Homo-oligomer: A and B are copies of this chain.
Amino acid sequence: MPAGPSPTPLRAPRQDNRRAQLLDAAAHLFSERGFHATSMRDIAKAVGMLSGSIYYHFESKEEMLLAVYEEGKRRVADAVDAAVAHGGSPWERLEAACAAHLRALIAHRDYTQAMIRTRQQEAGAYGTRIRELRQDYEMRFRRLIEDLPLPPEIDRHYLRLLLFGALNWSQVWYHSGGDSPEVVARRFVDILRRPLEV
């Protein structure tokens, strides 16, 4: 949406696109090396700036982390929301959500890594905000699993932890060239749906 074709080409406000560039660079480096192993100089250099200049756009390194986190959360959440909006049976909607989650995790890896790896303490003063974002996102899976028609002895709490953990852990093993997110999601959900015991 931010990169949509401007409807008024003659008066492009260019609205702070250096900030966006910086955020991209920060997201990429945080994702690749980790927050602490990335320096403000690294980020600045990546966009051809001096480190001091970043502070015109961001208050601190921690604020950059929060901004990356927020953007990452927004992207996955939007993807999942859109996928679920298509309707279908509860199982179909869960599978669609899983596929969307995985797809976003991969497509926006730079941003979503922050959601996967950031410790609350690393965000310093923004720790609380981060926790809120995390909870807001997870709510989606909580609801999708609540909607599932399940045998009464199944513990929905652990079903969610099992599925959500497995999906997130994909960041450790997923590599482009392997199966598509859709295939992975289908396999995971299939394994859950069917009986494994012969």
Which residue numbers of A lie inside 8 Å of B, CB to CB? 33-34, 36-37, 91, 117, 119, 121-122, 148-151, 154-155, 158-159, 161-170, 172-173, 184, 187-188, 191-198
User: What are 23 A-B interface contacts by the 8 Å CB criterion?
Assistant: A36-B36, A36-B37, A37-B122, A148-B196, A149-B198, A150-B196, A151-B196, A154-B196, A158-B184, A158-B187, A162-B162, A162-B166, A162-B188, A162-B191, A164-B169, A165-B165, A165-B167, A165-B170, A165-B173, A166-B169, A192-B196, A193-B195, A195-B195
Please report the C-alpha to C-alpha distance between residue A67 and residue B195 in the assembled complex, in whole angstroms: 42
Please report the C-alpha to C-alpha distance between residue A173 and residue B120 in the assembled complex, in whole angstroms: 13
B122, B154, B194: which contacts A151 (Cβ < 8 A)?
B194
- A contact patch SS: helix
Residues of B close to A194: CB separation below 8 A: 151, 154, 195, 197
A158 and B91 contacting across the interface, CB-CB below 8 Å: no
Please report the C-alpha to C-alpha distance between residue A91 and residue B198 in the assembled complex, in whole angstroms: 11
Of all chain B residues, the one with the shortest Cβ separation from A159 is B191
Given contacts A159-B191, A193-B197, 9 further A-B contacts (CB under 8 A): A149-B198, A154-B191, A154-B194, A155-B187, A155-B191, A158-B184, A162-B188, A164-B169, A166-B169
CB distance from A114 to the nearest CB of B (A): 14
- Interface hub of A122, A192, A193 (most chain B Cβ within 10 A): A192
Please report the C-alpha to C-alpha distance between residue A151 and residue B122 in the assembled complex, in whole angstroms: 45
Residues of B close to A192: CB separation below 8 A: 191-192, 196
CB distance from A160 to the nearest CB of B (A): 10
Please report the C-alpha to C-alpha distance between residue A148 and residue B195 in the assembled complex, in whole angstroms: 13
Residues of B close to A150: CB separation below 8 A: 196, 198
